[in-house]
Amino acid sequence: MRNNLMVAAVLALLACPTIFWAQSLADVARAEEARRKTVKLPAKVYTNDDLKRNGGGDPTSAPAPAVQPAPAAAAAKPGDAAKPDPNKPASDEPPRDEKYWRGRITAPRDALAHDKVLLDALQSRINALDTDFANTSDPAQRAVVEDNRKTARAEKDRISKDIEKQTKTINDVQEEARKASAPPGWLR
């Protein structure tokens, strides 16, 4: 028992200096602040626009050489207005960013949701007309109910075709986005 106490005391004495000499959070913060003051220029942050501008290569490959800005006197040459800017996209189409893809997918999804609600309502109407037709014995009223049933069924067929069309449009946009390497989250 005495040996166990002795071992515990030695271990406690060995552990204490590390506890007392450990850096406090304030010390670490002061050291980091001093380090940041010695840094002269901020690090270059690469964005997707930089990758597109520099050929759209693999981001893990060697970085493109830095482009040095032209002096102000050399930038204002009269013949430069006709030359295209290599940093701008060649066409006038909008950039295919998150806003673009969300805009492309939102309208068909909204139309699809609207059409599905309308289809459910039409099915309820058809069911009610079927019940009215079965329960009506007057031939004149039965003819009116039959015309209403035909109209509702024709409308249901039209809405079903619209739903198929909207579904195809959504699938086409998703496939186009996949081919353009757009993140799936942009289409949610």
Mean pLDDT calculated for residue range 110-137: 92
Can you tell me the distance from the alpha carbon of 181 to that of 98, in angstroms, rounded to the nearest whole number? 12
Can you tell me the distance from the alpha carbon of 128 to that of 45, in angstroms, rounded to the nearest whole number? 64
Mean model confidence pLDDT for the chain: 77
Query: What integer pLDDT is reported at residue 180 of this predicted model?
Result: 85
* φ, ψ for residue 143, nearest 5 deg: -65, -40
What is the Rg, in whole angstroms, of the alpha carbon atoms belonging to the chain?
Answer: 36
Query: What integer pLDDT is reported at residue 16 of this predicted model?
Result: 63
**CB 153 within 8 Å of CB 126:** yes
Lowest-pLDDT choice from 79-88, 121-130, 178-187: 79-88
Is the model's pLDDT at 86 over the cut of 80?
no
Task: Using alpha carbons, select from 144, 123, 122, 120 the residue that is nearest to residue 132.
Answer: 144
pLDDT (tens digit per residue) in 45-54:
778 888 877 7
pLDDT band at 73 (very low <50, low <70, confident <90, very high): very low
pLDDT (tens digit per residue) in 99-114:
888 888 899 999 999 9
Which amino acid is residue 48, in one-letter code?
N
Task: List the Cα angle 187/61/46 in 5-degree steps.
Answer: 55
Task: Please report the sign of the dihedral spanned by the C-alpha atoms of residue 162, residue 166, residue 167, residue 169.
Answer: positive
pLDDT (tens digit per residue) in 23-40:
778 888 888 888 888 877
Mean pLDDT calculated for residue range 40-61: 70
Percent of the chain with pLDDT over 90: 31
Is the model's pLDDT at 69 over the cut of 50?
no
